[in-house]
Amino acid sequence: MSAPPVMRELDITLDRNSPVPLYHQLAQAIEQAISSGVLAPGDRLENELSLTSRLGLSRPTARQAIQELVKKGLLVRKRGVGTQVVRSQFRRDERLSSLNEDLAQAGRRPATRLLEMSVGDLDGDVREAIDAAEVTEREFTRIRRLRLADDVPLAILTNYLPAHLALDEADLQRRGLYACLRALGINLKIAHQRISARLMTEEEAELLDVETPAACLTVDRIAYDDVGQFVEFGRHVYHAAHYSIQSSLVV
C-alpha cells in the first residue's frame, strides 16, 4: 500500500490593507505555488484549520479560497485524504472510441470495476433518450462500471444494450465494451452524443473518491453499427478535474 501524500505548508503572506479580499489573496498564493511547481500534482494541501490558525483567517475565508481553486480544477477534495493538487487531465479527442483503449494508447493504466450487470426493461428517461420508435427490443442489459486510470477513479460508465448480445462479465473487466462488441462481430459505425456539466450526486462523489460539491462532465451517447442498427446507449459521468473532451472546428 502506498504512503499517503505529505501535507505541504506554504510560505504565504497576506496584505490586510489591500482592497483584494483575503480569500482571493490566499487562492492566488496557492495557485502560484501550483503553477511554479512548489505544489506538485498529488501533493496534499495544508488543511483549513491549520491555514486559519497560522494565517489568522476565519474558516469560511480559507474554505472560500480552496473552493475557488476546486472550481478551477486545480484542487480536489478527497475523502479520507484532504485537499490535493489535481493530476494532469486526461484529454480525449471527440471520436467514436473506447475510453479503455484511449487510456492505454495515452500511456495510462486503465482498470475497470464492474458495479452492476442486470437484464430488464428501460427506465422511462432512458427509453425516451433512445427514442422507442427506432428500438424494437423489449429487454436490455444494463452495465455499470467504474473506470480508473493509474488507480485514480475517472468515470462511471452506464450502458444499455439489447439483451440478446452475449456479453461476459469477466471480459468487461479486462477490456473496453467496444472491444467486447467487436469480438461478437459488431462493427460500430456512428454515434450521436450530448455533453453536459453538473454537480455530482453523493453516490457518484463516493465512487469517484471526492467530496461534494464537485463538478462532473456527463455524456449521453447512442451508437449504431455499420448497417444502421441500434447497438448501445451510454450515460457516462466523468470526473471533471481529471477529464476533458477536445474537438477541432473548421470553417
Q: What is the mean pLDDT of the chain?
A: 81
Q: Give the domain ranges of the chain.
A: 7-85, 90-246
Mean pLDDT value of segment 123-130: 82
- The CATH number that domain 90-246 falls under is 3.40.1410.10
Which of the pair, 97 or 203, is modelled with greater confidence? 203
Query: Would you say the pTM of this structure is higher than 0.75?
Result: no
At residue 143, does pLDDT exceed 90? yes
3-state SS assignment for residue 144: strand
pLDDT tens-place string over residues 168-188? 888 888 888 888 888 899 888
Domain range 7-85, its CATH number among 2.40.50.140, 1.20.1090.10, 1.20.20.10, 1.10.10.10: 1.10.10.10
CA pair distance 70, 86, nearest whole angstrom: 9
Q: How deeply is 239 buried, as exposed, middle or buried, from its count of CB atoms within 10 A (0-12, 13-18, 19+)? A: buried
User: pLDDT digits over 40-98, tens only?
Assistant: 777 888 888 888 888 999 999 998 888 888 777 678 777 777 888 876 554 444 555 56
* Helix/strand/coil for 147: strand
At 145-160, the pLDDT tens digits run 998 887 888 889 999 9
Across 35-74, where does the E strand assignment appear?
A: 44-45
Grid cell at residue 26:
490566499
